[in-house]
Structure 1
Amino acid sequence: MNTEYTGSGDPAKSLELLWRRRPQPTRGPKPALTVERIVEAALRIADAEGIAAMSMRRVADELGAGAMTLYRYFPGKAELLDVMLDTVYGELARREVDGDWRARLDEVARENRDVYLRHPWLLQVAVSRPPLGPQLMAKYEWELAAIEGIGLTDLEMDATVALVNGYVHGAVRTAVEARQVIQRSGMTDKEWWLAHVPHLDKISDLEKFPLANRVGTAVGNEYDAPYDSEQAFEYGLARLLDGVSALIEKRSGPER
């Protein structure tokens, strides 16, 4: 799986595009394209075919324009990718939920998960150098606000947000892979499990692997599959929030 990297283009030009401070082309005939139209086309391609299929030429073809036309708006694919990512971050509803910090942080996780599921290509984009656009900043502000005033230092707030986002990234990757294997194999998890169960007793060593057999059988009987991504997400998120809660309680007494 190829990985794309944000923040690999010209910083000044990326920031101009992200904040729409980059002037529109003035030479030649009136521009038929806009930054927004180009980004929308790039997103359509990435959503349908994956990020590897998204190139300047492919986007130009999607728009019925010459490849060189796009370079009047974007210096290259790196800057376009930055704006694509920031645009997708704008899809977060950033809902205000009733309840305490735990309910708010739970919402942060779920909204991020929904964006990943709508745009699986995001899993192939490394954001250690994030595009510092308006939507990313609004996302970060909303995520931090979920845990503001609960007893964490600024560095711990940042680390907690990163922890939640990292957990969601890993959980969604597994869910997307599970969905893709069904599409590619033409076999549901239940069908796969039922095809294997009759043979397990013949080949597995119950005495050598007693725990694996007991627990694996319990999981298979419960989910008709070796794994359930929905249940795993819910369980993991709850335990992550338990950990944050334990830190707060240890430092300041009862949970606030």
Structure 2
Amino acid sequence: MSANEDPKALAELLWGLRKPPSRGPRPAFDVAQIAETAVQVADAEGLEAVSMQRIAAELGFTKMALYRYVNDKAELIAVMIEAAVGAAPRLSGVAGWRAKLEEYARELSAAWRLHPWLPSVTTGDRVMGPRETAWPESALSALADTPLTEPERLDAIMLVSNHIRATHAAATPGTQIWTDGDAAPIMRDLLLLNADRFPLLATTHATPSATTTQEFGLHAILDGFEHAITQRIPKQ
């Protein structure tokens, strides 16, 4: 959390505890409309395109008028996150903790692909809104019946979420030499031409993978959870 952010003010805004202004003209918009407009700008042009001035202009009022709804850009980003994360996964209809965590990971990855700016702004010590808070709550429910302790369950959820975050860029076309994009064919040819210098990468490019980086890593993590859980189940 940056020095300019007020965690108490953010909590009041995100959790509906902030009292609306009692003076001045009747509000023409609400925070939800502002957040949705900002999300649309970020999705189309990137987070760097979002500013108080830009969002005010998109909504047709002045930057000063926007301050009646959000105090600064930090609050604007916070309401954007809350709007963009969407509804938390419903895992009650999925059988087994492993399948539930796999579904959670899929939905988290899908949300971040829909809003590619989300992973970069959902890190660190910060106040989350109720919609975003519902995501780890849902994930924790997957491990409720396992012998893992409560702190271990939280650590497990963090491992899964951080893995999806770490592989988010690799799953985006053009961000790595092994993903599809404009540079990928060029890099592939260069590696093959220079196979004597980069023999392992050249061989890897010549051998198609049955799974993605994200899938392989997730399976490895869940295998580790399964080993820990199995070791704690009393033997008959």
Percentage of matched positions with identical amino acids: 33
Q: Which has the higher helix share?
A: 1
Partner of 1:84: 80
Q: 1:171 touches 1:229 (CA, 8 Å); kept in 2?
A: no
Q: Does 1:101 align with 2:82?
A: no
Aligned residue pairs, count: 233
What one-letter code is carried by the residue in structure 1 that aligns with 2:171? Answer: A
**Counterpart in 2 of 1:137?**
133
Identify the residue that residue 154 of structure 2 maps to in structure 1.
Answer: 158
* 2:189 aligned partner: 195
- Note if 1:245 corresponds to 2:219: no
Task: Give the residue type in structure 2 aligned to 1:168.
Answer: I
The one of 43, 56, 62 aligned to 1:66: 62
The correspondence for 1:234, drawn from 215, 221, 236, is 215
> Which stretches in structure 1 are left out of the alignment for 5+ residues?
206-211
| Aligned pair partner of 1:222 in 179, 199, 207 | 207
Aligned mates of 1:58, 1:188 — CA distance in 2: 32
SS in 2 for 1:28: coil
> Aligned partners of 2:181, 2:170: CA distance in 1, in Å?
18
Write out per-residue CA displacement over residues 93-143 of structure 1, whole angstroms, 9 at most, x where no aligned residue: 434443210000111111111111111112322522232321122112101
Structure 1 pair 181–167 and aligned structure 2 pair: CA distance change class (3 A): closer
- How high is the TM-score relative to the length of structure 2? 0.87
Give the TM-score, by structure 1 length: 0.80
- Determine whether 1:179 maps to 2:195: no
Whose relative contact order is higher, 1 or 2, with alpha carbons under 8 Å and at least 6 apart? 1
For the pair 1:52 / 2:37, whether they are aligned, the reply is: no
Q: Which runs of 5+ in 2 are unaligned?
A: none
**Offset at 1:58?**
1.2
Alignment root-mean-square deviation, CA: 2.7
Which residue identity is paired with 1:148?
Answer: A
How far is the alpha carbon of 1:9 from its aligned partner? 2.0
- Give the secondary-structure state (helix, strand or coil) at the position aligned to 1:29: coil
Q: Secondary structure at the match of 1:179?
A: coil
Secondary structure of the 1:175 match is coil
